[in-house]
Amino acid sequence: MHEPIPVSRPVAGGTAKLMPDVDRERAWLLTVDGAPQSYVDLDDPGHLEFEYTRRLAHTLDLARPAGPLDVLHLGGGGLTLPRYLAAARPGSRQRVVDNDRALLDLVTEYLPLPPGSGITLRAEDALAELERAAPASADAVVADVFGGSRIPAHLTTLSCVRAAARLLRPHGVYAANVADGAPFDFLRSQVATFTAVFREVCLIAEPAVLRGRRFGNAVLLGSAEELPVTALGRRVAADAFPARVEYGAALRRFTAGAGPVLNGEAVPSPEPPGGAFSIG
């Protein structure tokens, strides 16, 4: 058993640090170059410290069918969400893809997965995995890929979203964690890209973020079938940091004038302003 002391190690994305939470006996914060990546409580996988992670968990809670799910996670971090789903829906089959082998090794060494979790790990580029995976093989695809604090450009395109849609079963959902701030050029382009692929799209974010008062995370959902927007709205409104669900006419107004991102036009998500997410 490792002592609960901070751990620092070079990884592909910079310098990764695991810092124990003094208030929770076996809980850890993972950062890369000072940007928070994950919070993991080894004794309580249902404890989700980051609000955007809670919103992704709500999405999986409400995903169909009932019982175990087949999920592809793009981006590993501390494997917080896969651990949550393994506990919430035992028997789920989860594949986690992250191109940073050193980060995966650090996490599995110090924050080992429970036996029989059904979680498999692969060091691979997220888009390459989308392109090689079998069609209609997933109930959900979750994209939470950041190079440091920015989403890589090649994971923001129309072709990438189409590749994710190809993997989904008819009821399946593609959920992406996106970060942006006013005037939301990046976020609006991502909503437009999802809308070009999926019949149903919704956006989950805190009101302060949507009003442009601060930079922050938003969760973008796309599906071929109706999304559970009412149930999602109730859940995110009851969180410690309440959010709201934008869809339909309101989302169309938000996205007005934006178009889908083509390969030659793709750029990474914007750099967060100083201090937006960093840990001192």
> Residue range 93-101: average pLDDT?
97
Binned at pLDDT 50, 70 and 90, residue 147 comes out as confident
> Residue range 181-188: average pLDDT?
97
Phi-psi map region of 79: left, alpha, beta (phi>0 left; psi -120 to 50 alpha)? left
Residue 2 pLDDT > 60, yes or no?
Answer: no
User: Which residues 6+ apart lie within 8 Å of 19 measured at CB?
Assistant: 6, 28, 29, 31, 279
Binned at pLDDT 50, 70 and 90, residue 3 comes out as low
> Residue range 47-70: average pLDDT?
96
Question: How much of the chain exceeds pLDDT 90, in percent?
Answer: 91
> Residue range 244-252: average pLDDT?
97
> Residue range 60-80: average pLDDT?
96
**The residue type at 120:** T
How many whole angstroms separate alpha carbon 129 and alpha carbon 163? 9
Give me the pLDDT at residue 277, please.
Answer: 56
Tell how far CA 198 is from the center of its chain.
Answer: 18
Residue 219 pLDDT > 60, yes or no?
Answer: yes
Sheet holding 35-41, edge to edge: 7-11, 14-20, 27-32, 35-41
Q: Compare 238 and 147 and report the one with higher pLDDT.
A: 238
Among 64-68, 146-150, 209-213, 261-265, which stretch is predicted with the lowest mean pLDDT?
146-150
Domains contained in the chain, CATH given: 45-261 (3.40.50.150)
Binned at pLDDT 50, 70 and 90, residue 275 comes out as low
Length of the chain: 280
Q: What is the pLDDT of residues 98-114, one digit of tens each?
A: 999 999 999 999 999 99
Binned at pLDDT 50, 70 and 90, residue 63 comes out as very high
Residue 280 pLDDT > 70, yes or no?
Answer: no
Residue 257 pLDDT > 70, yes or no?
Answer: yes
Binned at pLDDT 50, 70 and 90, residue 279 comes out as very low
Residue 1 pLDDT > 90, yes or no?
Answer: no
Of 147, 145, 99, whose CA–CA distance to 125 is shortest?
99
